[in-house]
Structure 1
Amino acid sequence: MESQLGLIEQSFDLRYTGRVRETLNELPDSFTITDPCISGHPIVFASNGFLNMFGYSKDEVIGRNGRMFQGPETDRRSIMLIREAIRNERAMEISLLNYRKDGTPFWMLFQICPVYSKEDGRVIHFVGIQVPVLRKPRIGNRSEMNLSEDGGGICGSMFRCCRREVCSDSALKLAYNSALGSILSHDSREKEEVEINESCEASELQKTKATAAINNILSVLIQYSELTRKVISRQRCYFSGNSRLDASLNLSLGRIKQSFVLTDASLLDMPIVYASEVFFKLTGYGRHEVLGQNCRFLSGADTDPSTQFQMKACIQTEQSCTVRILNYRKDRTPFWNFLHISAVRNASGKVAYFVGIQIDDSGKNYETHELSPHIRQLSVVGAVKVAVRSLSGASTS
């Protein structure tokens, strides 16, 4: 146990200078920092905002896994998606039902982002940000409106949140002895049961707030790591606008065993927001070196400019194209890339992404029983389009 605590302390003390904790606690946000390199993936830092939100002391949290905040109504599939993201060392966001120390459940927006070492590119920490998700009050629900109008109180804020909060009997008698008599009736309990089981979607403002918080945290970590010369990468999480890759979409894309990338059509310079494992093997790059980059980083001295211009023109007109272009791996060895690019539209018909499928075409002779490269590429395009449209269709229905 002592050796584990020593590792947890070293996780921070050896990489950042002494004032990093103080500076992080000056941030108003609720967040944790965990270390995936230590057995059990424990929390190595918890902000004051986090401790206040969940009701724990620092000693009760440090060294523990985030599982301690889950409860009987926490969605098992959401937990699986979070584990998948951590295993694949990628950022994600999800609405999650968690529990405070006193047992009260609440909905929150949960974003995680890997922190990379600049020296070797490995993931050294994960930052997790928690933003409570509030629901709009329902007009016509007089008992709930009365509680909200009272303000403050023990249960007033609880019923404004997207969760079922059950106050203790003693608190009820002290605060709302008569007013809550009808609210805690059988019918109201059934209504609350429905609310806790209904997932609450975060607003764009809440998502933007969470992303800004993560970037502020990363800026602090970068600053204090530079002083110890154990610098972390400036790689950022990409959670902008409609470009957020839902955890379910990431899971679906991960099943496609082909080299491809997904770029965000709505962002400046169309950064890569997803890259397959086969792509990393083909090019030799790591995830932290690819996400957020434009695809032209694969080009080199002998890449044909006219081919690049052809690709750019097709993207601007939202047309598909297939080219054979000379690209370069991380070790700068060239390879002929048989590349297909296609627009991917969401359920509303708007181009959300472009998918680029790469096949190493450096003098290979394909067996007659193999699918042709172009057919393989089209099958990937089809799979990606189905995944994107299914997800966006579900979210807008």
Structure 2
Amino acid sequence: MVGLTLTPTAITVNGRRQSAEGMGSCEEARVVGESLTSRYSEWVLEALDELSDSFLITDPSLAGHPIVFASRGFLCMSGYARDEVLGRNGRIFQGPATNRRSVLEIREAIREERTVQISLLNYRRDGTPHWILFHLFPVFGEDEGRAVHFVAVQVPIPSRPGSSKSRTHCFGARRMAFGACRDEVRADHDLGYKPVRESFVDTDNRGLEAEESREARDCEKERAVTAADSILSTLTRYSKLTGKRVCRKRCSSAANIAPLSSSLILSLGRIKQSFVLTDPHLPDMPIVYASDAFLGLTGYSRQEVLGRNCRFLSGPGTDASALLEIKESIQKEQACTVRLLNYRKDGNSFWNLLHISPVRNASGEIAFFVGVQVDEGSKIERHGLSPEMWQLGAVGLVKVAVRGSSVGLGPSRSLS
């Protein structure tokens, strides 16, 4: 049996054959294509393609929260080709009558990494509207302690006997103009570098005159839940092949820690230095983010790090006075630099030049403390910078990322 390939080839836009590379660079297409295979193995694509349900899978860790898989059922229902969907943001399926309040409810569920089930008016490729029961749920990585994918199951909601048809006629009057607009959208094949976790979110004020919501029946809701269970079961089974296991609920030691926003995680992921973020507002000031370089330095997995206090790196040779200096600096909300003996997971020790600094959000309040580590015995290339300047550079990048991600958050929400 031939395996399914998600690499874009070519698509037709306004009657013209175009390379799918128009959606972004070859590198971007490769990243989208490997979103599933790198975690679930190559075989997952074929397994998912055998499912008859209508669903999409998106990746919140990639810029623009793009679609990384579209099922046969969804393509049949929407009229799109797979190459026209992959790498795009889910808002391309919205239209003039899509209810903005419903979209905002979906966006909030994405940010909070929770399941949502709601009636939604979407649009097919030809511009015709259709009602669906939109069932979105997160898929959590055991190591990451956060959502690594979102699955959007879509069950058609048929017209009920006696339902109002008056609004249906107004769609036809707007369809020609909207169809032309959608052709332009399809011709614009960028990956949509918008803030992450805004999949299925529109960017204008449309949807305020939406048709009254068409309610789904219990049988349609049950069908959506059954499909979600089947998809999750497939993803869970294939994640065992790579060792990158996934689960339905947050399943790491970070279970009681509110997740960072994906936009912040994406920004932090670009920083190459070894560092961790800790939350001073939580008991025992746990680690809420650990960079890949930190994991490489210490030998621990992300699952083993998140939710723990940094003192787990200490050992019999760690200087107690250095630990006290760190504690006092945190209490005074000041930066400090100390040299202390730490221990890797394998028990080997290393001299750690540790710089700790408070990180404030856009409101000027301390949201985190960042700890940047430099292994004094490492030969890592620092581009001619001293260890101190290397650390300060990382601190600056972290502060920019945190302040940028906290802009627009209300007082009831925090980054931690």
When the two structures are superposed, what TM-score results if normalisation uses the length of structure 2? 0.50
RMSD: 5.6
Equivalent of 2:164 in 154, 176, 180: 176
Equivalent of 2:363 in 348, 351, 354: 348
Q: List aligned pairs for 1:328-343, cutoff 5 A.
A: 328-343=343-358
Q: Provide the residue aligned with 2:338 in structure 1.
A: 323
CA pair 179-104 structure 1, distance change in 2 beyond 3 A? closer
Given that residues 92 and 247 in structure 1 are in contact (C-alpha distance below 8 angstroms), is that contact kept between their aligned partners in structure 2?
A: no
Counterpart AA for 1:354: F
SS at match of 1:112: strand
Q: Provide the residue aligned with 1:150 in structure 2.
A: none
CA pair 305-244 structure 1, distance change in 2 beyond 3 A? same
d(CA) in 1 for partners of 2:172 and 2:391?
A: 58
Q: Verify: 1:76 aligned to 2:92, yes or no.
A: no
Counterpart AA for 1:113: F
d(CA) in 1 for partners of 2:203 and 2:381?
A: 51
d(CA) in 2 for partners of 1:178 and 1:366?
A: 68
Q: Provide the residue aligned with 1:197 in structure 2.
A: 202
Q: Verify: 1:266 aligned to 2:274, yes or no.
A: no
CA pair 92-106 structure 1, distance change in 2 beyond 3 A? same
Given that residues 344 and 354 in structure 1 are in contact (C-alpha distance below 8 angstroms), is that contact kept between their aligned partners in structure 2?
A: yes
- Give aligned-pair identity as a percent: 41
Given that residues 261 and 279 in structure 1 are in contact (C-alpha distance below 8 angstroms), is that contact kept between their aligned partners in structure 2?
A: yes
Q: List aligned pairs for 1:128-167, cutoff 5 A.
A: none
CA pair 178-279 structure 1, distance change in 2 beyond 3 A? closer
CA pair 371-196 structure 1, distance change in 2 beyond 3 A? closer
CA shift digits 1:47-90 (9 cap, x unpaired): xxx97x969xxxxxxxxx843268778973689xxxxxxxxxxx
d(CA) in 2 for partners of 1:358 and 1:38?
A: 34
Cα offset, 1:282, TM superposition: 1.4
SS at match of 1:36: helix
d(CA) in 1 for partners of 2:286 and 2:46?
A: 31
SS at match of 2:141: strand
Q: Provide the residue aligned with 1:373 in structure 2.
A: 387
d(CA) in 2 for partners of 1:322 and 1:330?
A: 23
Q: Provide the residue aligned with 2:94 in structure 1.
A: none
SS at match of 2:405: helix
Counterpart AA for 1:381: V
Counterpart AA for 1:254: G
Q: Verify: 1:294 aligned to 2:309, yes or no.
A: yes
Counterpart AA for 2:41: I
d(CA) in 2 for partners of 1:321 and 1:351?
A: 16
Counterpart AA for 2:358: A
Q: Provide the residue aligned with 1:113 in structure 2.
A: 140
Equivalent of 2:407 in 390, 393, 396: 393
Q: Verify: 1:257 aligned to 2:272, yes or no.
A: yes
Given that residues 35 and 41 in structure 1 are in contact (C-alpha distance below 8 angstroms), is that contact kept between their aligned partners in structure 2?
A: no
Counterpart AA for 2:391: Q
Q: Verify: 1:384 aligned to 2:398, yes or no.
A: yes
CA pair 181-363 structure 1, distance change in 2 beyond 3 A? closer
Q: Provide the residue aligned with 1:120 in structure 2.
A: none
d(CA) in 2 for partners of 1:282 and 1:351?
A: 27
CA pair 278-34 structure 1, distance change in 2 beyond 3 A? closer
d(CA) in 2 for partners of 1:380 and 1:236?
A: 27
d(CA) in 1 for partners of 2:122 and 2:166?
A: 28
When the two structures are superposed, what TM-score results if normalisation uses the length of structure 1? 0.52
Given that residues 325 and 336 in structure 1 are in contact (C-alpha distance below 8 angstroms), is that contact kept between their aligned partners in structure 2?
A: yes
Given that residues 55 and 151 in structure 2 are in contact (C-alpha distance below 8 angstroms), is that contact kept between their aligned partners in structure 1?
A: no
CA pair 255-54 structure 1, distance change in 2 beyond 3 A? closer
Which structure has more relative contact order (CA 8 Å, sep 6+)? It is 2
Q: Provide the residue aligned with 2:376 in structure 1.
A: 361
Cα offset, 1:273, TM superposition: 2.1
Cα offset, 1:107, TM superposition: 6.8
d(CA) in 1 for partners of 2:85 and 2:305?
A: 37
Cα offset, 1:328, TM superposition: 0.4
Counterpart AA for 2:139: I
CA shift digits 1:343-381 (9 cap, x unpaired): 1111112211111100012498999x8222111111111
d(CA) in 2 for partners of 1:305 and 1:42?
A: 53
Cα offset, 1:276, TM superposition: 1.6
d(CA) in 1 for partners of 2:163 and 2:381?
A: 77
